Amino acid sequence: MAEMWISMGPQHPMTHGLWTLKVKVDGETVVDTEPDLGYIHRGVEKICEARDFTQITTYCDRLCYASANTWSHSYIYAAADLLEVEVPERAEYIRLIAIEIQRIASHLMWLGAYGPDIGNLSIMVWCLREREMMMDLLQELGGSRMHYNFPRIGGVKRDLPYGFAQRARAKLKLFLNRIQEYEALYDESTIFLVRSQGVGYAKPEEMVNHGVSGPNLRAAGVNYDVRWAHPYSVYSELDWSAPVERSSIKGADCYDRYRVRVEEMRVSASMALQALDKIPGGADTHYEPEDPMILAKAPSRAPEGTSGAHHFEDSRGESMFYIAGGGEGRGKQPYRVSIRSPIFITIPFAAKCMIGYKVADIPAIMGSFDPCIGETDR
Amino acid sequence: MGKIVSASVQKDAAEAIVTSISEVAGIKAEVVERSSGTHTRNVVVVNSSPTSWRSLAEKLYSDHAVDYCSMITGIHWPEGDDDRKWEVVYHLLRTGVRDPPSEDGVVQPIIVNPSTVRGFGTPVEIEVHVHLTDSRTPSIDSVQDIWVGADWNEKETWDLVGIDFDGHDGMRRVLLPHETPRGYHPLQKQHNLRYHGFEEMYDDAQGFMRKPDDVGKIK
């Protein structure tokens, strides 16, 4: 049969956003692919060059609609490196709680969206039910439902609200029980198993060479994690280990990538619970905003020649910011902000992964890498 | 208790890399302490000349197991000295990731204990700055064949900043529309943001030089 190119997207249920995957098919078999991005390129890096350091957090929140909090924290750590700020320990604990709850919410969004991708329609509402609990907790911290604008350079916007610790403990424990329900829904669904097992194999060394990291890498049987490899925050104070899946000889398939995210939600919930117990000053005390316990004073200017960078474990892999100081207003604005999006690097790899499989496997393979186009196109 | 990489081991690994790559001509390397709040990290910061960048990259990859290209940043410095008009910043990592071995057909996951990593398994952060001389078409050697992860990073750097990569296979626009005119790279400093001293704006139907309707009315 003659080979032909098919455009999947920009409007296609497989894409999870606005992009095109051009697929060359020979009958039902995929022989070549080419991703085409940039449909929602907003020029965030250019916009940041005309904003003060404190204003940029808002834009970083909007990089990813499913995981806003991790992105603003990613920027905040790079800015703290640039401006040389010492962050109070209590603020680091609050940040960790916010990041890990956001990671759960992001994985739940993925878990819910992945089911309908490959024929398990009921899981969506189950996952969104628990995601709602996580969003409520984040709303208590940041004040809004989706774009929290929670961290500040040198600390956090507000302390934990009264009664937050109690509500968070109750919700996280309830959530830990309910993870079993998703496992039952997925692992006992024949459709899900048939469509996710044995497709989209990826090996660790190849993934690292392609720049793929995070849960997609850990699914293949290695426990590389930025949180221990390039430590930040207070992960050293908690008892945790990065979850790893036992993959097959050919590498991790879509099923492994689903398993590792479920395990990661368990680890994140346990980390948030531990942080609530260990937070200095106690989780039930409440400091006023701008108290030195939760917010350190940060300089507003960075002179020319300085730079800050930070590797950060985002929900989807290693995200990173590089900021060069010395822009407009005698260094009040950055000269250049550069953003590393994990999915921008993962999409070309995922497109290579599906060569040799059938057209019907494309949604299963693509969805398992957890694409988010907001951060990809920036 | 929590297991993270010990700072002293990471510092030793960083210093070993610095001593080794300082032998390459045109390289100035040092270990810099950085902190993003609580933890101090030891980062290898390298200043390389454009001619020695390719040999430095090969040395890092083959001798020091630097296996991961995290990000490539291009910066335009129109007000800098003539030999520093353009800058490319590479962020590389050593992850120490290996394919897990299999016994009797069953894969055994590699669970690294972060507090006991040594040698080539130690994660190290490397930041390489390369300054390019004044040119309308700046270019630098591509490392796409060493780290495949650099492929799309280089595409993006050319697309947005206009720094070309010699030997890059399949250079094309990735974030801007494919029909964007040649030579238009928005992160170069002569392009200003609208409402901040704008001169011209982009419009699909009429091309690039169209003046906005409200020219002169908005600051």
Contacting B residues, span 18-47, partner chain A, CB-CB under 8 Å: 34-39, 41, 43
| CA–CA gap between residue B157 and residue B164 (Å, rounded) | 8
Cα→Cα distances A300→A59, A84, B74, Å: 18, 11, 24
Cβ–Cβ of B110/A223 closer than 8 Å? yes
Chain B interface includes A322 (CB < 8 A) = yes
| Cross-chain residue pair A378–B175, CB shorter than 8 Å | yes
> Mean pLDDT, to the nearest integer, of A159-181?
91
Which residues 145-204 of A have a C-beta within 8 angstroms of B?
203-204
- For residue B218, pLDDT beyond 70: no
Across the range A266-292, mean pLDDT stands at 89
Question: How much is the mean pLDDT over chain A?
Answer: 88
With a cut of 60, say whether residue A47 has pLDDT above it. Answer: yes
- Which letter does DSSP use for residue A10 in this model? S
Question: pTM for the complete prediction?
Answer: 0.88
Average pLDDT of A76-85?
Answer: 89
Residues 6+ apart with CB under 8 A from A90: A159, A279, A280, A281, A287, A293, A294
Q: Summarize pLDDT for A348-371 with one digit per residue, the tens.
A: 999 998 898 999 888 889 889 888
What does the pLDDT read at residue B154? 92
Q: Tell me, what's the ipTM?
A: 0.87
**DSSP annotation string for A273-312:** HHHHHH-TT-TT--PPTT-TTTB----S---TT-EEEEEE
pLDDT value, residue B210: 57
pLDDT of amino acid B215: 56
CB atoms under 10 Å from CB of A9, counted, come to: 20
B165 close to A29: Cβ distance less than 8 angstroms? no
Q: Is B125–A230 a contact, with Cβ atoms under 8 angstroms apart?
A: yes
Q: Which domains does chain A have, with CATH numbers?
A: 41-342 (1.10.645.10)
Query: A251-290 b/e with 16+ CB inside 10 Å = b?
Result: bbbbbbbbbbbbbbbebbbbbbbbbbeebebebeebbeee
Superfamily of domain B7-101+108-166: NADH:ubiquinone oxidoreductase Nqo5 subunit (3.30.460.80)
Question: Strand pairing partners for B106?
Answer: B103
Question: What is the percent of chain B with per-residue pLDDT over 90, rounded to a whole number?
Answer: 21
Residue A297: pLDDT over 90: no
Instruction: Determine the pLDDT at residue A1.
Output: 67
User: According to the model, what pLDDT value does residue B2 have?
Assistant: 55
Residue A99 pLDDT greater than 90, yes or no: yes
Range from A26-30, B79-83, B104-108, B203-207 carrying the lowest mean pLDDT: B203-207
The domain locations on chain B are 7-101+108-166
- Scan residues 280-319 of A and list those with Cβ closer than 8 Å to B: 307-311, 318
Q: Is the pLDDT of residue A270 over 60?
A: yes
Q: Does B111 touch chain A (CB under 8 A)?
A: yes
Which pLDDT belongs to residue A266?
92
Size of interface A-B (CB pairs under 8 A): 189
Nearest to B109 among A232, A239, A244 (CB): A244
In the prediction, which pLDDT does A176 show? 92
Residue B2 contacts A where some CB pair is shorter than 8 Å:
yes
pLDDT at residue B196 in the model: 46
Give me the amino acid identity at A129. Answer: R
Task: Point out the least confidently predicted range of A147-156, A209-218, B148-157, B185-194.
Answer: B185-194
Q: Is residue B89 over pLDDT 90?
A: yes
Long-range contact pairs involving A188-194 (C-beta distance under 8 Å, separation at least 24): A189/A120, A191/A118, A191/A119, A191/A120, A192/A115, A192/A118, A192/A119, A192/A120, A193/A255
CA distance B134 to B84: 7
Amino acid A273: pLDDT: 93
- Mean pLDDT of all residues in A122-132: 89
Q: CA of B119 to nearest chain A CA: how many angstroms apart?
A: 14
Grade residue A299 by pLDDT with cuts at 50, 70 and 90. Answer: confident
Please indicate whether, in this complex, the C-beta atoms of B36 and A80 are within 8 angstroms of each other. Answer: yes
Q: Could you give the angle at which helices A254-278 and A164-187 cross, rounded to 10 degrees?
A: 160
Cα B146 to Cα A48: distance, rounded to the nearest angstrom: 31
Q: Which residues of A touch B38 (CB under 8 A)?
A: 87, 89, 92, 232-234
Closest residue of A to B71, CA-based?
Answer: A340
Q: Answer whether residue B217 shows pLDDT above 70.
A: no
Task: For chain B, give the percent of residues with pLDDT over 70.
Answer: 87
**Structure confidence at residue B208 (pLDDT):** 56
| CA–CA distance, A216 with A229 (Å, rounded to integer) | 17
